[in-house]
Amino acid sequence: MKEAIGLSEADPKHVLGGIVDLIRGGEGNEAAQRWAGACSSSGYCREACDYGVDPLFLVKMANYKNVRRRDGDAVRKNAAASFRRVAKSLRIISRLQLDRSEVARLQPEFKPATNGDEPDIAFYIGCNVGKTPHIVLLCVEILQAMGFSCEIIGGSSACCGINQFRAGDGETAGRAGMAALSQIEAKQATTNLTWCPSCQSQFEHIILPAHQLMTGRDDLDMTPFYVFLERHLDRLKPLMKHDMSKRVAINERPGRPDVVHSVERLLSEISGVELVHLDVPRAGLMSTYLTVTPKFKESLRVTEFEAAARAGVTTLATIFHGCQRELCKFENGVSFEIVNAVEIIGESIGIRVEDTYKKLALAASVEDALESCAPLLAEHGLNADEARSALLADMLGSRPLQGAVQEVV
């Protein structure tokens, strides 16, 4: 991120010295604060370090300590406000797409497993994936088609704690993450899956290490959904019988190279899919992680779209929900479809679920979008003005910067 935030000429020792000082509770320096606040979790720094240090985690902790130092007693209030915004947005946006029975299916009331009803898979979806419900539905139906039983854990009542952590409230973040982990454990599933890379990162870096320190156990892990599918390609491939006739470019995210590799492998196994690699810059764990540098994010999108058009792709396949939500609204202005990779996998099996979020995003106006889901507004008793504000904020509005209080989506 150094070019995007104006640190290309900064002295590395000066910046890193400031990072270490931030972690120790000091003020660091302006360059270190800027770098910590701009980290988009691309992970390139890990490849550049020769000393066995995880620079990504180092910078994440520097930002956490800087926010705590800067905001002081306000961190808990800020964290609570951040969580409320995320929960309210999820509640409204999901209900503009789902009826009550569908909401109950994707945001189920938690019930621990009892002897004999343990699922094969506990599928932890986090919070904001619920804004793109077709992704969750497709994941579950694909797993079931593969012969796995699956139960969903997620929604604002099972938060991983990352928004509170970024707001500097580590105590609340820890309680939230541990509570979510307890729900996952209580399902007694053979395998625990995640969808959201933000949640995966929070569990890997914060929650699971803390759990191990507290309990002495190291038997818990979380596997990304696409990685799990690749591991069980022997069960999935026979189901992918439909020829797709698609020329596909993947909207790659360097923050999870394992997931990118799995998506490439999965799509390459589908008859009729031709993968095209776009030689363009890549950054961020998700597109939403680049909000701190809006001009840089926009330049990456334009560069990728232009390269995809030149390559004659029929499809730009996003990997994560945050990228799908941010990019799908541009579909009317490009020569290719913008879909999530799981839609392609599902279609190859014969499973189709409409992307209702895209339908809202491509409406001519917010008013048209609201009119299209008027029956759901009435069914859920949603306030039209609140729904309008939620749509504007989610689809059109900018978000606070990462170094301040940024909702991770």
pLDDT score of 114: 83
Per-residue pLDDT of the chain (409 residues; tens, 9 = 90+): 999 999 999 999 999 999 999 999 999 999 999 999 999 999 999 988 888 889 999 999 999 999 999 999 999 999 999 999 999 999 999 999 999 999 988 888 888 888 888 999 999 999 889 999 999 999 999 999 999 999 999 988 899 999 999 999 999 999 999 999 999 999 999 999 999 999 999 999 999 999 999 999 998 999 999 999 999 999 999 999 999 999 999 999 999 999 999 999 999 999 999 999 999 999 999 999 998 899 999 999 999 999 999 999 999 999 999 999 999 999 999 999 999 999 999 999 999 999 999 999 999 999 999 999 999 999 999 999 999 999 998 876 533 333 333 444 5
- Distances, alpha carbon 269 to alpha carbons 18, 51, 242, 316, 347, in Å: 47, 38, 11, 17, 13
Of 10, 25, 14, 12, which is closest to residue 62 (Cα–Cα)? 25
Question: Which tokens hold the place of 115?
Answer: 């002897």
pLDDT score of 403: 38
Query: Please, are residues 313 and 343 in contact by the beta-carbon 8 Å criterion?
Result: no
φ, ψ of residue 111 in degrees (nearest 5): -140, 125
Question: Which tokens hold the place of 94?
Answer: 């999901």
Question: What pTM, to 2 d.p., does this model score?
Answer: 0.94
Query: Please, are residues 223 and 190 in contact by the beta-carbon 8 Å criterion?
Result: no
Q: How many residues does the chain have?
A: 409
Classify residue 232 by burial, with Cβ atoms within 10 Å: 0-12, 13-18, 19+.
Answer: middle
Give, for 389, the enclosing helix (H) or strand (E): helix 384-391
pLDDT score of 394: 85
Angle at 324 between CA 323 and CA 328, to 5 degrees: 120
**CA atoms of 13 and 116, how far apart (whole Å):** 58
pLDDT score of 409: 52
Angle at 288 between CA 295 and CA 207, to 5 degrees: 140
pLDDT score of 396: 66
φ, ψ of residue 192 in degrees (nearest 5): -110, 120
